[in-house]
Structure 1
Amino acid sequence: MDLITGNFYDADTSGTGWVIGFSDWTRLPGSDLLHVPQDAPLSGLCVKWYDHPDGHVSRSDKQVSAGRTMSMLVTTGSHFELDFSDEPDFHPDHTRTLVMTRAGDYAAWGAGVYHRWRCERRSTILTVRWNQD
């Protein structure tokens, strides 16, 4: 599964603060999900800011991911869970769960990944999607 997780507060951005782009640090070990070559054409850029209330749960008919996606927890005192799978039925042997409780927690994933989410405690999530042509 093309997936990386972490916390942007812990990321070594060489003092720049950029979390997606063409800087060398975006080439994380085993993944280029956050790396966008400076001359790469992009399409379908989407940015979503959503304040999820307690108990908010994703639809069950979500499509498989296309392109690249990065979701980050923005708020403190939150609890947001994301499930990722390479199968649409989220079989436990093929599912990875990320619990985001610290501002800056993130997940980045590529095409062909199924995801679903649930908000246990009010959470504001910033999501960015794009395609590299």
Structure 2
Amino acid sequence: MDETVYVGNAGVDGATNAGWLLGHFMPPDEVRHSTDVEVKWGVHPRGETRARWATGERRTALLVLISGRFRVELRDRTVVLGSPGDYVVWGPGVDHSWYAEHESVVLTVRWPSVPGYRVESPVQR
């Protein structure tokens, strides 16, 4: 097998690592290991919310709605991603949380990939 190419399915592969497909947390000998960027295929049932606010963030993030309706909470505003392709970007230092208003699929890209950021599993409301 060519170790410089990985072929997979985001839904299948993401299910084994909380949705994350690429980042520092992947095995170091895999092409999916990166300290530059993290990529997540987030599948969120209706009513799921982030377990707690992310604070002290040192990364930039991009969230793109694939399907559903997804609300991103920022300290100074709420952003609703309601149509496929809607997205939001924020930089380091922006506290945030989220809530799946409908069953949603969201692609998240964060950079750089920084060890030590781990939050408990999302909760159902």
TM-score in same-fold range (> 0.5): yes
Aligned to 1:70: 62
Aligned to 2:84: 103
1:17-36 alignment to 2 at 5 Å?
A: none
CA contact (8 A) 1:69 1:108 kept: yes
CA distance in structure 1 between the aligned counterparts of 2:41 and 2:69, rounded to whole angstroms: 16
CA distance in structure 1 between the aligned counterparts of 2:110 and 2:97, rounded to whole angstroms: 16
Normalized against structure 1, the TM-score is what?
0.55
User: Alpha-carbon deviation of 1:104?
Assistant: 0.5
More strand by share: 1
Matched residues, number: 80
Aligned to 2:94: 113
- Consecutive unaligned residues of structure 2, counting only runs of 5 or more, are 1-33, 114-125
> Share of identical aligned residues, percent?
34
2:37 pairs with 1:45: yes
- Consecutive unaligned residues of structure 1, counting only runs of 5 or more, are 1-41, 86-94
Higher relative contact order (CA 8 A, sep 6+): 1
2:52 pairs with 1:60: yes
CA distance in structure 2 between the aligned counterparts of 1:117 and 1:61, rounded to whole angstroms: 8
User: Alpha-carbon deviation of 1:61?
Assistant: 4.6
Residues 79/66 of structure 1: CA separation in 2 closer, same or farther (3 Å cut): same
2:63 pairs with 1:82: no
